[in-house]
Each structure stands twice: as structure tokens, then as C-alpha cells.
Amino acid sequence: MASHRKPRTRIPTSASSTGRRTAVGFTTAALASVTLLSQTANAAPSDPKPGTTQSIEAVKEKVDTLYHQAETATQHYNAAKERSEQQRTKVNRMMDDVAENTEKLNEARRTLGTYAAAQYRNGGMTSSAASLLFSNDPQDLFDQSHLMNRMAGSQKRAVDDFQTQAAKAAKERREAAKSLASLTETQRELKTKKKSVQDKLAQARRLLANLTAKEKARLAAIEKKKAEEARQKAAELAEKQRQAAAQQKQQAQEQEQESSGGSSSGSGSSSAGSSTATNSTKAAKAIDFAESQLGKPYVWGATGPNSYDCSGLTQAAWKAAGVSLPRTTWDQVKAGTRVSTSDLKPGDLVFFYDDISHVGLYIGDGMMIHAPKPGDVVKKAPITEMPIYGSVRPA
């Protein structure tokens, strides 16, 4: 008998996800102009007017704020997209279950139809006395009665099975409809978050595009000074880290000498050393991956392989080392062991700003690899160029 099962419709991927690689990974003409002008003007224009200086710094502050807001909105977008993908997977799985149980329901319905047709053809059940009276072979009647009793039991089981399958199918259809409604709402949220990011970046682009040549040169000088200050702070931090590491090493050697006679202590030290070596190997793999991505463009919402946002890069780097990280900075900061800035080791994740909207991969000496912002590329930078929120060691 032909199956009543209908092929179900897969939940399509949101259109917003197909466009996330485009439109926003722009390289603004203003930033290009800044780079060109900074090559011809190694210092700020001489004796700039106080009003002009303040104006350019105010523009820079606005642009930085907009980029920061855009990155925060990007993390909201990433979270909504992750929820959307999880819900889509759940809905597709539930639709598979509904289709499977609908087939079981149809089979139970066919079984009931078979019994109903048989009873119709036999004209219903007759009395045992009448059957005995007109039967030519009482033994044959006994065998038939035994068979009918068994059929009655099978009919009851068929009815029970039909009722069970019908209730189960109805429940799963309700749950699937509810999950589908939730998915639809999340996709609307995804669209809203995407527009928020695009609006912030468009505002920043307009501010930069409206600058004059002198203003762009002044902005380049401010950025250069800021970068130099960040590198100096990173160098100081690296020196403090080296001193702290040397002190810790010396203390560890002294403790080892004091307890060198204990066999159990030696065994524990060997076990700890093995674990540390494994973690260092994973960190090295994550850094190797990140270094191979240097120069690729920042695109908000991107997770590779051709472009990345900040948390997309760190997630991909540690995935290459065999460690699975969540998608957003807000979840990544909870993955692993918290470490202080003074105890940072290569491979650690460093998070920035009070709202934890940015992350970079620490590579040592106060430096990190990160995907900075639209119009920029994956690159090495001092961890001191932004306010640090905290750090995590994933493995």
C-alpha cells in the first residue's frame, strides 16, 4: 500500500546569514587617505589651532565610540545567529520526528482499516450458539472461535497503538510549531541586530569621509601617538612578566631541591609537567593558526576562512588546536581558567572593555593577534591599546 508520508520542508537558512560577508567589510576611503597622508607627514601639522585639535579629537572619539558600539552590536548579532542556527537544527529534527510518527500513525490507521473491512464482510460477530447450531464441524468452530478471540486482542492493540501514535504526533506537531515560531522571532531579532551594526558603521564612515586633508593628517598623527604609547606600555608589561616568571622559576627550583628526596613528590611533578606541556602544545597550534590568518580582513559576523570578526578568529584559532570555544566574547570569557594580566601566557584570550565586546589571542611580550574593526585586517597589536577586562586560559 502506498505510503501517506509527505516529504517535509526543510527550514531554509536565514537570508541575513548569506549577506553577512558583504556590505560591511569595507575599506573606507577616509582611512586609506589617512594612511597615505601619514606617510607624507611624519608629524602633526605645525601649531594647529586649539579649536581644530579639539574638533579632530572629538571626531576620533565619536568614531571610536561608534566602532565600539558596532562591535558590541556584532556580538549581539553573533549570539542571535547562533541561537537561530541551533533552533533551525532543532526544528528540522522535530520535523523529521513528526514525519516519522505520521508514518507510524498511517500504518496504525491502515491496520484498523483492515480489521474494519473484515468485520464488514463477515456481517459482524454472530452468537456462539447459532454458530454451533449450523456448524458441520464443532471442532472447526472451536478453532475459529479461538482465532476470533485472538483477533479481538489484536484489534484492541491496534486501537491502542493508533491512539498512542495520534497523541504523540499531535504533541510533536504542537512542539514543532512552537519552535518554528521561536525561530521566526530569532530571525527577526537577527535582522534588527544586523541593521544596528550597519547603522553604526555607516555613521563612522560618514564622519571620516567628511574630514579635510589637514584633519585626516592630524587624525593620523593622533593614531600614531596612541599606538606608540600602547607599544611602550606593552613593553613595560612584558618586562614585568619576564621578571615575575624568573622569580617563579627560581622559587620552583628551590622547592624542588628541598623536596627532591620524596618519590611521591617527583611523580606529581612529572604529571604536572606533562599536563603543562600538552597545554603549551595546544596554545602553540592556536597561535600558529592565528599567524596564518594575518592580513585577512575584518568582517563583522565572519568566522573564516577568508575573513573574521574578533571572536570568530579566536574561536577558529583554538578549534585548530582541538579546543571548542563558544561563538561570542561573552561566552568565551567563561570558557577556561581566569588568569591575571601579569600571569598571561601565549595562547590566552584577552578581553577588552567593561562590556567584554572585544577579544584577542595573546602571543607573548605584551602582544596579541586580533581582528580589530571594519576597514582593518587581522594583525598583531599591543594588548595595552584598549582597556583590559580580563583574561582566560582555554586549555
Residues classed as catalytic: 310, 358, 370
Distance between CA atoms of 290 and 312, rounded to whole angstroms?
11
Let me know the angle formed at the C-alpha of 346 by 344 and 348, rounded to the nearest 5 degrees.
60
Distance between CA atoms of 145 and 128, rounded to whole angstroms?
8
Distance between CA atoms of 176 and 173, rounded to whole angstroms?
5
Sign of CA dihedral 214, 220, 224, 230: positive
Cα dist from 16 to 21, 194, 281, whole Å: 10, 8, 38
Residue 161 has a CB neighbour count (10 Å cut-off) of: 16
Q: Are 115 and 151 in contact (CB under 8 A)?
A: yes
Phi-psi region of 10 (alpha: psi -120 to 50; beta: other; left: phi over 0): beta
Distance between CA atoms of 346 and 367, rounded to whole angstroms?
9
- In sequence order, which residues have a C-beta less than 8 Å from that of residue 307 and are 6 or more positions away? 21, 25, 296, 297, 298, 299
Q: Are 290 and 301 in contact (CB under 8 A)?
A: no
Copy the grid coordinates of residue 326: 563558544
Distance between CA atoms of 275 and 19, rounded to whole angstroms?
43
Going by the DSSP 8-state scheme, the letter that residue 63 receives in this structure is H
Q: Please provide residue 394's backbone torsions phi and psi, each rounded to the nearest 5 degrees.
A: -65, -30
Helix, strand, or coil (residue 147): helix
Cell numbers 624568573: residue:
246
